[in-house]
Amino acid sequence: MNNDVVVIGAGPAGMAAAIQASSLGLKALVLDEQPAPGGQRFRAIEQRYRRLRAAGKGLPASEQKGLDLIRRFRESDTRFVDQASVWDISPGGRQISYLHHGRSFTIPANAVVAAPGAYERPVPLEGWHLPGVMSAGAAQTMLKMSGHPVKGRIVLLGCGPLLLLTARQLSNAGANVVGLLQTTGPADFLRATPYLPAALRSATLLKQGLQLLTQTPLVPKVFSLTQASIIGADHVEGVNYRSRGGSGFIECDAVLLHFGVIPNTQLSRLAGVAHDWNEQQECWQPVVDAWQETSAENLMVAGDGGGILGDEAAEMSGRLSILRIAHRLGRISDQSLSKLAAPLQRGLKRLAAARALIDTIFHTPETMLIPSGDTVVCRCEEVTAAEIAAANASGASGLRHLKVQTRVGMGPCRAQMCSMAAMAMITPGIRCGQRPPPPATVRAPIRPLTIGQLAEADVEI
Amino acid sequence: MRPPHDLPEPPHQVSFRFGDEEIEAWEGETVATALLASGVMITGVRAMSGRSRGPYCLIGVCHECLVEIDGLANQRACITTVRQNMKVCRQTRLRPLTGEDETREQ
Amino acid sequence: MLIVGGGVVGASIAYGLAEEGAKIGILDAEDSDFSASRGNFGMISISNKGFNNLAYFRLSYASSRLWPEFASTLREQTGIDPAFDLKGKVYISVGDREFAAHAEKVAEYARRVGAEYQHDILNRADLRQMLGNVRLGERVTGGSFSPLDGIAEPLKLYSGLLNAIQRHGGSILRDHRVGRIQHQRGIFTVEGPWGSLSAPRLVIAAGLGTPDLASQVGISVKVRPQRGQMMVTERVEQSFPYPVSGLLRQNPEGTIMIGVSTEEVGYDDRTTVSVLRSLAMKAIERLPDLGSVQITRCWAALRPRTEDGYPVYQESHERPGAFVITCHSGITLAALHKRLLPQWILGGRKDALLEPFGLGRLQSASAA
């Protein structure tokens, strides 16, 4: 066993953890599915930098910090394995299996920092399975990687800072944005005012937020959107919508959806650690202490995978995880532990306070929370809302019952796209404090793996 | 080790096949973003329902962008980095377990 | 009438009882409870049953004969097709020794069972013929085919049963874990955090939960968990027409199931890399083309095993009207449970096929 810690994910949290580990003399092995470090937040940023520089341009300041982080990460004494997909973690996290260039490796781990990040909350709308419908984050990823915006006439739909940011980035890149349909309305801002004082402590965050709200591109906008359905035969042809101000139809070629982000809990659920329902953010997340440690010793979850707080917080939580591990290993004293940790823990508190404001303004409207009719909820197995409603009416009380009756969640995405909506459907009082039933069990493999790769797996125990 | 972003030259362009089309991409880019940038929206057809599908999340979660790459079915186009001359195909039906050109036992 | 246990065993009995006009309430535990009904292979297995217990072979065989009508009735009544097919099963042997041992066992089976035991030994060429296009592993020496066995789609069967019960006016009560059973003046009252319910008759078919409940009606029965791990793949074209014993089957929609391990690890339904890897190796050794197929899900389920592995059908002497039913072959026996158990529970007529499976056999065995 030659690693002190295995870090899963090379986004802001994972990279910060690795840098911290290396500075304390811990040997870290970092596994990431992508070909380059950066995570979703700083995806392909090195490539972008090289492309921009070749064109005589530079990165915007908000991205430059990512490039700096990657530079420090690459320069640290860390073993980084890119294109490594972690497909299993044993209960408690002492054994990790990953696929790398078609070969599977199972390795022991003394300590684990899981930094799996987040993904955009899937909100099934009628027609959202049509080609041409993507998440707003996907449009960003495409812009980052290819340098090209989404083609054709674009409608952005949903709520959240990332929706507004994507609208601006696409417009700046010369895309044809023909509509920005936001569920957000005056009532949301009003409801959020009690959270404003605490948020004021994060001045930069607030400034960024104001900029996003005020500097939206000059495109047709709809507020207080309550319902939408996407029309098309075998790709997007338009959006029908209804808002408090009336209804309408927009012809378009692409629809970009965004309803905030939720932690990716596959890894932590597979490891069997305790999870809790976060009412404010309406998602499940692993229970972690002030050191990001889960209910399993030496299994930490850092970054957005442990609760949505953004990239700045992700770096802090990644570092905290390592401080705790290093202290256990006797690499730092009690004294330096508290000295190093105090500013990080304070910072996390401050960012959490600002988060409450954002979560309250931008939340999925009740009218879109529970899909109905022919809307495809489970995209993999093509299960509609009506089919789930029928199973629910016949007394299915949990996701496993639903699965037996409808096959919802049994496809290759492993219920990541449908489980939130399915859960809302069987928890009618979810907005009134009713706790949803526990999420479905996660089992290996959480990434694609062939029978041949499994049979030839290299298992080191 | 020198970070890739310190390399002096701009990233190279590579090309790959998508069915009969030739698609240009940046080195290091994924198959899905390259296809989308070339205007390809539909990456597959569901064998059961006949419904067309295209990339949705681009971060490996949704499995909507499954394509055949160099003979291997069900590869996530959004996670696979392009390689020069790779062969990518739309998936329109369930694949047979054995390749058609497989040498058979007599 | 109350049925404690909402798995395939409880549901098959409830379906039969409801058809006979009984007013049925099924009490099922939480969604997260261990449930073999949601994690099994869906085989109607006959040709490998009861090698050392002819009565068990006869029981299973009788059920397989009842299955066609059972499946078609279910489909007609609910519109849910359990995809039953009595198509037979292939056995594949790897290496000469395994093949020889298998052939010998099949011959001995035929001697013990008699004419009913149809099971033919196949050489490698025959096997290839039977399996169609799929390639055989280099070390495959031969195998066999038995037309006695069948398959069903286990989740379709399960949801069909629940649907049928509801159509016959029965109710399925979820999150109704039973803690205590009381008995007063011929009435059973079952209690849990959800409240209580009473009925003059009580069927306990709660799988691993059976011993605790059975002891409250004066029946002492042991049931232990035995873990089985399995996996299911992506959908591929129909590739092999017959299930392969204890290892492989392809479902109508194209997914392939690979399983099932047998492990004594207590109440742990998690998967392990080493066991899954050995299943994958076994599968590829027999059908190497499976190597390129992607795994969609792996899971483990706990089989409820009685002491000797055979079913238990027992009415309480101490508390008449309370019945305990437990077995680990709920799919194979579903048709028989539906047909033969209601007349025993409602009318006291215990079919001769069920007679050998009282608890007396275990007590006399342990006394001896």
What ranges do the domains of chain A cover? 5-119+262-332, 122-259, 371-427
Total number of domains in chain B: 1
Q: Residue C297: its chain A contacts at CB < 8 A?
A: 410, 414, 443
Q: Decide if B98 and C128 are in contact by the 8 Å CB cutoff.
A: no
Name subunits touching B (3+ CB pairs < 8 A).
A, C
Q: Which residue in C159, C173, C284 is closest to A451 by CB distance? A: C284
CA distance A45 to B5: 8
Q: Which residue in B51, B55, B79 is closest to A138 by CB distance? A: B55
The confidence score (pLDDT) of residue A209 equals 78
Please give the full DSSP string across A8-44, using - where no structure is assigned. E--SHHHHHHHHHHHHTT--EEEE-SSSSSSTTTTTT
Q: Residue C292: its chain B contacts at CB < 8 A?
A: 72-73
At residue B104 the predicted structure's pLDDT band, cuts being 50, 70 and 90, is very low
Q: Suggest the residue from C28, C40, C159 to mutate for an interface test with chain A (most A CBs closer than 10 A).
A: C159
* Assigned domain for B5 exists: no
The confidence score (pLDDT) of residue C368 equals 38
Tens digits of per-residue pLDDT, B21-61? 999 999 889 999 999 999 999 999 998 889 999 999 999 99
Q: Residue C172: its chain A contacts at CB < 8 A?
A: 394-395
Could you tell me which residues come within 8 angstroms of residue C286 by beta carbon, excluding any fewer than 6 positions away?
A: C92, C94, C136, C137, C140, C244, C247, C248
* Assigned domain for B105 exists: no
Tens digits of per-residue pLDDT, A382-394? 999 999 999 988 8
* Assigned domain for B106 exists: no
CA distance A378 to A389: 13
Per-residue CA distances from C181 to C4, C124, C239, C316 (Å): 10, 57, 50, 13
C window 303-342, beta carbon within 8 A of B: none
Name subunits touching A (3+ CB pairs < 8 A).
B, C
Chain A residue nearest residue C172, CA to CA: A395
Q: Which residues of chain A have pLDDT under 50?
A: none
Q: Residue B37: its chain A contacts at CB < 8 A?
A: 142, 146-148, 151
Chain C residue nearest residue A88, CA to CA: C273
Tens digits of per-residue pLDDT, C34-58? 788 888 889 999 999 999 999 999 9
The confidence score (pLDDT) of residue C324 equals 98
The confidence score (pLDDT) of residue C122 equals 97
Q: Suggest the residue from A45, A46, A50, A258 to mutate for an interface test with chain B (most B CBs closer than 10 A).
A: A50
How far off is chain C from B10, nearest CA to CA, in Å?
Answer: 37
How far off is chain C from B76, nearest CA to CA, in Å?
Answer: 12
Beta bridge partners of C249: C257
The confidence score (pLDDT) of residue A215 equals 80
The confidence score (pLDDT) of residue C364 equals 58
Please give the full DSSP string across C259-298, using - where no structure is assigned. ----B--SS-----HHHHHHHHHHHHHH-GGGGGPEEEEE
How far off is chain B from A199, nearest CA to CA, in Å?
Answer: 30
Q: Decide if A47 and B55 are in contact by the 8 Å CB cutoff.
A: no
CA distance C210 to C3: 12
Chain C residue nearest residue A405, CA to CA: C159
The confidence score (pLDDT) of residue B2 equals 58
Q: What is the CATH number of domain C2-80+153-222+307-367?
A: 3.50.50.60
- Interchain CB contact of B50 with A (< 8 Å): no
The confidence score (pLDDT) of residue B101 equals 39
Q: What is the CATH number of domain A122-259?
A: 3.50.50.60
Q: Residue B43: its chain A contacts at CB < 8 A?
A: 131
How far off is chain C from B97, nearest CA to CA, in Å?
Answer: 6
Q: Which residue in A122, A146, A379 is closest to B26 by CB distance? A: A146
Domain C224-303, what architecture? 2-Layer Sandwich (3.30)
CA distance C358 to C315: 8
* Assigned domain for B101 exists: no
* Assigned domain for B94 exists: no
Domain range for B39 is 10-89
- Interchain CB contact of A353 with B (< 8 Å): no
Beta bridge partners of B23: B16
Tens digits of per-residue pLDDT, C240-254? 999 998 899 999 889
- Interchain CB contact of A170 with B (< 8 Å): no
Q: Tell me which residue has tokens 């390689």.
A: B83
CA A77 to chain centre: 28
Q: Residues C135, C127: contact at Cβ < 8 Å?
A: no
Q: Tell me: pLDDT of B99 over 90.
A: no
Q: Decide if A455 and C175 are in contact by the 8 Å CB cutoff.
A: no
- Asked whether this chain's domains A5-119+262-332 and A122-259 adopt the same fold, the reply is yes
Q: Decide if B56 and A133 are in contact by the 8 Å CB cutoff.
A: yes
The confidence score (pLDDT) of residue B105 equals 37
Beta bridge partners of A255: A133, A155
Q: Is the dihedral of CA C266, C271, C275, C280 positive or negative?
A: positive
Chain C residue nearest residue B102, CA to CA: C135
Q: Tell me: pLDDT of B106 over 70.
A: no
Q: Structure tokens of C144?
A: 């066999």
Q: Which helix or strand (DSSP H or E) is residue C184 part of?
A: strand C180-184
- Interchain CB contact of A336 with B (< 8 Å): no
Q: Which residue in B93, B95, B98 is closest to C134 by CB distance? A: B98
Give residue limits of the domains in chain C: 2-80+153-222+307-367, 89-145, 224-303
Q: Structure tokens of A369?
A: 């929370």
The 8-class DSSP code of residue A91 comes to: G
- Interchain CB contact of A201 with B (< 8 Å): no
The confidence score (pLDDT) of residue C182 equals 96
The confidence score (pLDDT) of residue B3 equals 66
Closest to A302 in 3D by CA, of A84, A45, A112: A112
Q: Decide if C258 and A451 are in contact by the 8 Å CB cutoff.
A: yes
How far off is chain C from A133, nearest CA to CA, in Å?
Answer: 24
Tens digits of per-residue pLDDT, A403-432? 988 999 999 999 999 999 999 999 888 888
Q: Decide if A135 and B57 are in contact by the 8 Å CB cutoff.
A: yes
Closest to C227 in 3D by CA, of C306, C154, C300: C300
A window 177-196, beta carbon within 8 A of B: none
Report domain A5-119+262-332's class. Answer: alpha beta
Q: Which residue in A47, A71, A382 is closest to B11 by CB distance? A: A47
At residue B100 the predicted structure's pLDDT band, cuts being 50, 70 and 90, is very low
How far off is chain C from B27, nearest CA to CA, in Å?
Answer: 27
Instruction: Give pLDDT tens digits along chain C (368 positions).
Output: 999 999 999 999 999 999 999 999 999 998 878 788 888 889 999 999 999 999 999 999 999 999 999 999 999 999 999 999 999 999 999 999 999 999 999 999 999 999 999 999 999 999 999 998 789 999 999 999 999 999 999 999 999 999 999 999 999 999 999 999 999 999 999 999 999 999 999 999 999 999 999 999 999 999 999 999 999 999 999 999 999 988 999 998 899 999 899 999 999 999 999 999 999 999 999 999 999 999 999 999 999 999 999 999 999 999 999 999 999 999 999 999 999 999 999 999 999 999 999 998 887 554 43
